[in-house]
Amino acid sequence: MRDLFIGGQSVPAADGGRFDVIDPATGDVLQTVANGTVEDAIAAVDAADAAAPAWAATAPRARGEILRRAYQLMTERADELARLISQENGKALPDALGEVLYAAEFFRWYSEEAVRIPGTLATSPSGTNKILVQYRPVGVCVLVTPWNFPAAMATRKIGPALAAGCTMVLKPASDTPLTALALAGLLAEAGVPDGVVNVLPARRSGAVVSAMLHDDRVRKLSFTGSTEVGRVLLREAADRVVNVSMELGGNAPFLVFADADLDAAIEGAMIAKMRNAGEACTSANRIYAQAPVAAEFARRLADRMSALTVGPGTADGVQVGPLVNREAVDKVDQLVRDAVAKGATVVTGGGRPDPEGCFYPPTVLTQVPPEAELLREEIFGPVAPVVSFDTEDEAVRLANDTEYGLVAYLYTGDLARGLRVSERLEAGMVGLNRGLVSDPAAPFGGVKQSGIGREGGHEGILDYLEATYVAVSW
Ligand code: NAD
C-alpha cells in the first residue's frame, strides 16, 4: 500500500480512495495507491506554498548539493529503481536501467546549474540609467508526467525546478505512480525539506489538475504527455494566465539517404525505434529510405527486429517488454490493421501473439500508402513503417508533413547535405547520423504542436525562472 506524499508525510486520500497499479506483463496487481482528491490537491498546494519562501531563500550552493546527493542516491539504487519501473511500466530491464541513469543525470546537471542562474547589468541606450535584470523562482509549480518514462520525465522537471528555487506538486501518470513515490522518498533522504516536493497520484487527473491550476498560489504548469491533453491544459492554464511548459507528442521522421552508412543507419533505427519498445515521444514513427537502398534497409531492419527477444520486462535476456496496458496494444493493433487494409506489406511481425495480454511483436511494414493512419499518428509501439523516396526535396516535404515537430533523424554520408537538410526540418531536435538525441545537457523540446519550452541544458532552468528588471539611477 502506498499513500500520497504531502508536506514530507505519507498520507491516505481524503476520502480513503485507492486504485490498483497493474503489472502489464502478468495482469497482476502490484500495489494499491491512494487516489488523490481535489481536497488533497489543495493540501499539496498548501504544503508547497508554505515551503516556498524558505526554499527560494536557500543558498543556490545548498540547493545544488542536495541535488547532487539525490543524483548519488539514485545511481546507488539504480538496479532497485529499474526493477520498479520495469514492473509498473513493462519495459525491459536494460531500458529501465538506462532510464534511471538518464533520469539521475538531470539531478547532477541541475546541481551544477543551480549556481549559474544568470543575471545582467547594462547601461540603458540613453545613458540615463542602468538596467538590472535578475531571475527569481517562478513559484509553486504543478508538474504532470506521463507513464512512458516514469523516472526521467519527473526528474527532468524536478531537477531544474529545485535548482531554480521552486516548490512543486507532481501528478504522475496513474499507470506508473510507484516510481514517482520512490523518487519523493529519495529526495527527502537527500535533504529536500518537507513540502518542497509533493507527489499526488490520482486517477481523477482532470479534476485535481484543474483545481490546482485555478488556485491563485500556483504559478507554473509543466506538462509532458499527449498533444490532446496538452491542448486541454493550455485552455485551463489560460483562465489564470499560468506560465506553461509543454512537452507533447511527436511523429518523428527517420530519413536514410542512399549515401548513408547503412550499418550505422540500421543501428540508429533500432535505437530510435525500439528504445522503450517504441513507447517514446522521440520514437522513429516514419522511416523514409531513398529508393536505391529502401528494399535492403527494410530487409535488414526486419532481420534485426525479428531477432529481438520479447517477454516480461524483468526476465533475463528480454529486450522488448509488454506495452503499458491493453488499450495501448489495441491502438497499435488497429494502426497496423489499418495500414495493411490500405495495402501495406508485413515484412515481419504483425498480429497479436496473445489477444488477452499486453505484448506486441516487433513489426516492419513496407509499401505503406500515404493515407495509412500510422504515418500521421504516434504509433507508440514496436512498429516500423518503411516508405521509399526519390529526392532530397521530397524527403524534406514528407518529413515536415505533420502537425508535430519534436525530433527528426537523418542518415547521410555527406555532411553538407546533413546540415542543409537539418536546417530545413521542422523539429526542435535533429539526430544527424544518430538515433538518440536525449541528453540532460541539451535543450529537449519541440516546435509546432509538439510543445512550448525546453527541458535540459542551460535553457531548462529558464522555464522555472522569471526575469525581473530594475531601472536604476545612481
Ligand atoms: P497523456 O496525455 O494521456 O497523460 C499525461 C499525463 O496527463 C498523465 O499524468 C495523465 O494522468 C494526465 N492527464 C490526462 N488527462 C488529463 C486531464 N484532462 N487533465 C490533467 N491531466 C491529465 O499521455 P500519456 O499517455 O501518459 O503519455 C504518452 C504521451 O506523452 C505521448 O503523446 C508522448 O509523445 C508524450 N510524451 C512527450 C514527451 C516529450 O518530452 N515531448 C515525453 C514523453 C511522452
Are 45 and 131 in the same domain?
A: yes
Are 332 and 393 in the same domain?
A: yes
Residue nearest to atom 9 of ligand 1 (CA): 173
Are 112 and 257 in the same domain?
A: no
Regarding the beta carbon of 36 and ligand 1, being less than 6 Å apart is answered no
Determine the residue of 148, 233, 455 to mutate for testing ligand 1's pocket, defined as the one with the most ligand atoms within 8 A of the Cβ atom.
148
Over the stretch 321-353, which tens digit does the pLDDT of each residue have?
999 999 999 999 999 999 999 999 999 999 887
Are 146 and 284 in the same domain?
A: no
Asked if 73 contacts 190 with a C-beta cutoff of 8 angstroms, the reply is yes
Over the stretch 152-211, which tens digit does the pLDDT of each residue have?
999 999 999 999 999 999 999 999 999 999 999 999 999 999 999 999 999 999 999 999
Are 101 and 225 in the same domain?
A: yes
pLDDT at 356: 81
The three three-digit cell numbers of residue 97, written as one number:
536501467
Question: Which amino acid, one-letter code, is at 207?
Answer: A
Regarding the beta carbon of 209 and ligand 1, being less than 6 Å apart is answered yes
Strands (E), 205-319: 218-224, 243-247, 252-256, 284-290
Are 299 and 211 in the same domain?
A: no
Are 326 and 378 in the same domain?
A: yes
Are 456 and 423 in the same domain?
A: no
Annotated catalytic residue 247: yes
Over the stretch 99-125, which tens digit does the pLDDT of each residue have?
999 999 999 999 999 999 999 999 999
Are 342 and 429 in the same domain?
A: yes
Q: How far apart are CA 369 and CA 346, in angstroms?
A: 13
Question: Which amino acid, one-letter code, is at 414?
Answer: D
Over the stretch 284-319, which tens digit does the pLDDT of each residue have?
999 999 999 999 999 999 999 999 999 999 999 999
Burial class for 17, CB neighbours closer than 10 Å (0-12, 13-18, 19+): middle
H/E element holding 120? strand 119-123
Are 236 and 349 in the same domain?
A: no
Asked if 107 contacts 70 with a C-beta cutoff of 8 angstroms, the reply is yes
Question: Which amino acid, one-letter code, is at 171?
Answer: K
DSSP code of residue 415: H
In this prediction, residues 43-49 reach a mean pLDDT of 99
pTM: 0.98
Residue 444, in any domain of the structure: no
**How far is the centre of ligand 1, averaged over its atoms, from the C-alpha of 290 (Å)?**
34
User: Which residue range(s) make up the domain with 365?
Assistant: 252-439
Which atom of ligand 1 is found nearest the CA of 147?
Answer: 26
Q: Which one of 88, 247, 279, 455 is the catalytic residue?
A: 247
Q: How many structural domains comprise the chain?
A: 2
DSSP code of residue 240: T
The three three-digit cell numbers of residue 207, written as one number:
479534476
Residue 105, in any domain of the structure: yes
Are 422 and 465 in the same domain?
A: no
pLDDT at 259: 98
Q: What is the layout of strands, in order, in the sheet containing 363-366?
A: 345-348, 363-366, 383-389, 284-290, 252-256, 407-411, 429-432
Which atom of ligand 1 is found nearest the CA of 156?
Answer: 40
Question: Which amino acid, one-letter code, is at 106?
Answer: F
Query: CATH no. for residue 223?
Result: 3.40.605.10
Q: Which of 84, 72, 70, 69 is nearest to 2 (CA)?
A: 84
